[in-house]
Structure 1
Amino acid sequence: MIKMVKQNLDDIDFRIAYELKNDCRISYKQLGGAISLSPSLVYERTKKMEEKNVILSYNAKVDWGKFGYSIHAFILLKDDRFIGDVPYFLKDRDEVFNLYMVSGEYDYMLEVYIANKDDLGNFMDYLYRTVGRTYTLLILREIYEVPEKP
């Protein structure tokens, strides 16, 4: 039986990570107040989680539509043409924000933001030529984002 190793993380580390996920700009003082810990201990624990690659990055949620990228889509890819090789060549495309390996009929899923239907058509043509099969899911609107539970 394989035992999961949690890298010596505890409930306090989880609460710090949870609070940072919800607001990555929270001060150590505010964070300490939220979880009943001194700001210096919050800082120390946060730095340790960064060093252990538990906290990977700090991000902002951006409305890309306000920058003119009104189409948000997920595109499933089947590796018909680049068989067995991860499509790293897609990371250089401005449209591509995330690439995931997935299970099921398709092999990868792209998250893209694109300005308009003509640009989407051009990008899809590129995918057909370089990748093969695709399946596109357009995001019509975000209903809600499920908050993570502490």
Structure 2
Amino acid sequence: MDTSIKVKFDKIDRKILEILQANAKITNAQLSKDIGLSPAPTLERVKKLEQSGIIKSYHAKLDAEKIGLGVSTFVLVSLIGHNKGNIDAFMKEINGIPEVIECHHITGTGDFILKIIAKDITAYQKLMLEKVSEIREVDSMQSMVILSTFKDSKVLPIPE
């Protein structure tokens, strides 16, 4: 699938996307009031945005500390080789580790950057020793513990 295909949308679609990013639980009735359309065309527009793949999913954002996840890290990973087989095998393993909440293929010093969340430093160490470092394709890793987070937005700016 070509992910470079861009769907055209107007000012009302942009407003819908801004509102839903701020509050995905908003009712269709309230959304229709906020954008100035009646409920039926509002629902039709939201469905079109969902079907086109612009709206990928809806999520509840949890407070990590309140559910017992106190350590977050970024881990820079270099693989033993840059071939498709190694990348695919690494991705298969990473997708099986729930504590890896983000994985990005990058340029620069490493090949991937992972965001990992764990209960505490002991759980993080165990995860790294028993799971991540055991992935055959991993050559080296560099961990960066997140001390504080000043911005953690999942809201995307909607281009004109």
- 1:140 counterpart = 2:147: yes
SS in 2 for 1:58: coil
Q: Which residue of 1 aligns with 2:9?
A: 9
State the AA in 2 paired with 1:50.
E
Secondary structure of the structure 2 residue equivalent to 1:105: coil
Match of 1:111 in 2: 115
Q: Report how many residues are paired.
A: 147
CA distance in 2, matches of 1:58, 1:83: 34
The 1:148/1:5 distance shift into structure 2, 3 A limit, reads closer
CA shift for structure 1 position 144? 3.2
What runs of 5+ residues in structure 1 fail to find an aligned partner? none
Mind listing any 5+ residue stretches in structure 2 that lack a counterpart? Answer: none
User: Letter of the aligned partner of 1:134 in structure 2?
Assistant: M
- Quick check: 131-140 or 11-20, which moved more? 131-140
| Runs of 4+ off more than 6 Å | none
Larger mean CA deviation between 111-120 and 139-148 belongs to 139-148
TM-score by length of 2: 0.79
Q: Answer yes or no: is the 8 Å Cα contact 2:117–2:124 preserved in 1.
A: no
Taking a change above 3 Å as real, the CA distance of residues 149 and 100 of structure 1, as seen in their structure-2 partners, is closer
Q: How does 1:15-94 map to 2 (within 5 A)?
A: 15-80=15-80, 83-84=83-84, 85-86=87-88, 87-94=91-98
Identity value in percent? 25
In the aligned structure 2, how far is the partner of 1:98 from the partner of 1:5?
Answer: 24
Q: How far has the Cα of 1:149 moved from its partner?
A: 4.7
How much has 1:26 moved relative to structure 2? 0.8
- Structure 1 Cα separation of the partners of residues 99 and 56 of structure 2: 23
> Who is 2:132 aligned against?
127
> TM-score with structure 1 length normalisation?
0.84
- 1:85-125 superposed Cα distances (whole Å, 9 cap, x missing partner): 13221111121112222222211121211011111112222
Q: CA RMSD in A?
A: 2.2
- Give the aligned residue type for 1:100: H
- Report the CA distance between 1:47 and its aligned residue: 0.3
Partners of 2:141 and 2:11 lie apart in 1 by 42
